[in-house]
Amino acid sequence: MNSLEQRLHIGLGLSLVLLLGLLGWLIYDQNQRLVDELVVSRLQHDAESILTALQFDAAGKISLSEGRLSSIYHQPLSGHYFLVLGEAGEVLRSRSLWDAELSSEKLAPGERRVRRSIGPGEQSLVLWSAAYHKAGHSVTIMVAEDISPLQQRLLQNALWLFALTVIFLFVVLFIQRYIVRRSFAPLWKLGEEIKQLERGEVDKLTEAVPQEVQALVIEVNRLLMVMAHRLDRSRNALGNLAHALKAPLNLLGQLADQGETTDSLRQELHQHTDTLQQLIEHELVRARLAGSGGAGQRFNAAEELPALISVLERIYHDKTIKFDCHYPQQNIYNLDRHDLLELFGNLLDNAAKWAKGRVRCSIEQTDQVHIIIEDDGSGVSEKELDDLIQRGHRIDESLPGHGLGLAIVREIVELYHGSLQLDRSPELGGLRVRLGLSPSQ
């Protein structure tokens, strides 16, 4: 059982049942005692009034002056009974007893006794007996009262109490449920936010949460930040390395072009610096790629592609290329912006390089992100294209004009568990590159 809400319900329910049960039992017990005491004290009074009504004749025979007795003792089976035992064993019984018997015993003078017994008509009786001295005679008086109506009343009260307790229990549990739901609401929201985080729609969690989980949320945010910083740092470090390496390479290249160097040396120098540059470039780009899974990753084609296209228009300022792009306006989540710009930059650059005047691209998001880029150039010959298609998506880095660019594209596609297809564009006639990326995997 892992639901906190259920745990709280059971905990509170059990303690309430225990508490209310104890309370109910105490109240019931106290009421019972109270009733008993009241009944006993009334019986004592009754016994005393019977004692006053007792008369002894000269022979010591006991009689009662009936007029001084309550009429309740005349009514048969009224629930109020008495019995008087004389010294000689004679017995005086109340008329209400009718022909029922009450077990009796003679008590020593001054002795009192209370007991319970079942009387006539299954009545539940409390018997009170005591021995008295009157006019030199010793007499035992026993008075009884039926307490079943009282007991019934007590039971009724107890039932009422029980019913109220049950209702109260449910009301309390319901209120608790409400409170629990309310206090857990921020947690559900947090859960929803974490899902958004996974999808890359947000890049940190809201820290306005209850104190109990705030530490957790702050820690999660801190970790996210640390990871993002680490990625940034390693990317920056690599950028700095590139910066540091490229400048001397650039100088080497320029030195080679100066007058004193011989042609063969110049050629060799250029060859080596070019190789070095390509190596640096390739490894840098590879290391910069992030892949999916970072927090807050999103790519907005509508925001990025126009800027990218104007970069390309400047690079190819000496020819007029019409870029015809279709893309969704909303964010595509779980795609790293840098990766996607690298992908589009390379593909569109290639396309623009070979295009005669038109480049088309489209992005479509279904369960995958589908990207098509095609141009009207003759970037690859039929034979090269056949080679490419036959080899599937394995592209040789040494393919002229498609060296580094497509190799990087392939790396990015692999990072996003995607597919890469090359063929001839049926409409434009140049190279068509089709990609499918699965950012959510």
Give yes or no for residue 38 binding other proteins (CB under 8 A).
no
Q: How far is the CB of 325 from other proteins (least distance, A)?
A: 14
**Judged by CB, which is closer to other proteins: 13, or 294?**
294
- The reply to whether 317 sits near other proteins by the rule CB under 8 A is yes
Judged by CB under 8 A, does residue 341 bind other proteins? yes
Single out the residue of 36, 304, 387, 397 in contact with other proteins (rule: CB under 8 A). Answer: 304
- Minimum distance of other proteins from residue 250's CB (angstroms): 4
149 binds other proteins (CB under 8 A): no
250 binds other proteins per the rule CB under 8 A: yes
Site string for other proteins, 222-241 (x = CB under 8 A): -----------------xx-
428 touches other proteins (CB under 8 A): no
243 sits near other proteins (criterion: CB under 8 A): yes
In the list 344, 350, 415, 437, the residue contacting other proteins (rule: CB under 8 A) is 344
Confirm or reject binding of residue 307 to other proteins (CB under 8 A): yes
* CA–CA gap between residue 372 and residue 432 (Å, rounded): 7
By the rule CB under 8 A, 318 interacts with other proteins? yes
Q: Which of 8, 287, 311, 399 binds other proteins (CB under 8 A)?
A: 311
Q: Tell me the closest approach of the beta carbon of residue 399 to other proteins, in angstroms.
A: 20
Closer to other proteins by Cβ: residue 338 or 434: 338
Q: Binding to other proteins (CB under 8 A): which residues in 62-121?
A: none
157 touches other proteins (CB under 8 A): no
Residues 410, 74: Cα–Cα separation, whole Å: 114
